[in-house]
Structures are given as C-alpha cells and as structure tokens.
Amino acid sequence: MKSKRDPDQLLPLTPAVFHILLALADGGKHGYGIMREVLERTNGQMRMGPGTLYGSIKRMLEQGLIEEAEERPDPELDDERRRYYRLTDFGQKLAVAESRRLRQLVGIAQGKRLLDGKKLAAPVPIVPVLSGAEFGGISRS
C-alpha cells in the first residue's frame, strides 16, 4: 500500500519552488519558459538564474512534485534538446496548500491594516522581563 504524503509537511516553500509550481499550474513548460514566466509575472522582481532554476527542478523531480512531460510541441517549432516539465498530482496539492497558507498570512496582514497604506499606530515600547537577580537579588523561592 502506498503511503499518502501530506503537502503541509513541506511548507513553507522557498520562493523559487513556489514560482516554478505556479508557472507549471497551467501546463507544461521547458526551463527557459519557466524562467521567462516568473520574470514577467513578477515584473522583473524575481530573477531565477540557471543554477537556482535547474537545482530546484532537480530537487522537485526527486521529491515527485514535477515530472518530465512526454508530450512535446511539433519538432519543427521546438528544439528537441529541451526538457518539458509538468506538475504531478502531489505537486498540484502542494501548490494549493502553499497558496492557502499565504492567503491566511495575507488575511492576518489585512487584519492588522498593513496593506491599506494607512500609518500604523505608534509602536508600543518593549518592556524587558527582569529576573530576581536584577531586582537586587530578591527571589520568590
């Protein structure tokens, strides 16, 4: 019997892994296509170099999050040396789990009014907790 893996055990994901999962969520892509989509989707804020991209892809293949896709574009329209990747069922579940985790964090940030652009209240001073020794050696024992 095959054991069921819990996606929550792999959370939180690194930004690179999550961006790769997002790029593959709507279909298979080759490495350069993934890199291009991430760059475009983040307006240039997330630049994955080849080392980050292919190192992440290698680990994701080993973990069963993605797999090499068998179906390919017409050879006349594509370079046959390219490898195409797609999400596995577990990779899809993991992308959903991370999306829900991030949605919950954004909800907390909204509840604290961090996203509405208004000035936050003055910070509350931090009061240190003192031990008995710091009260002149008096203790309650």
d(Cα 16, Cα 19) in Å, to the nearest integer?
5
Sign of the dihedral through C-alpha 92, 93, 94, 98: positive
Print the domain residue range for 51: 11-116
Q: What is the pLDDT of residues 105-126, one digit of tens each?
A: 999 999 988 888 776 667 777 8
125 falls within a domain: no
C-alpha radius of gyration, the chain, whole number: 23
Query: pTM of this prediction?
Result: 0.79
Q: What is the pLDDT of residues 53-70, one digit of tens each?
A: 999 999 999 999 999 998
124 falls within a domain: no
Q: What is the CATH number of the domain that holds 44?
A: 1.10.10.10
18 falls within a domain: yes
- How far, rounded to the nearest angstrom, does the alpha carbon of residue 63 sit from its chain's CA centroid? 15
1 falls within a domain: no
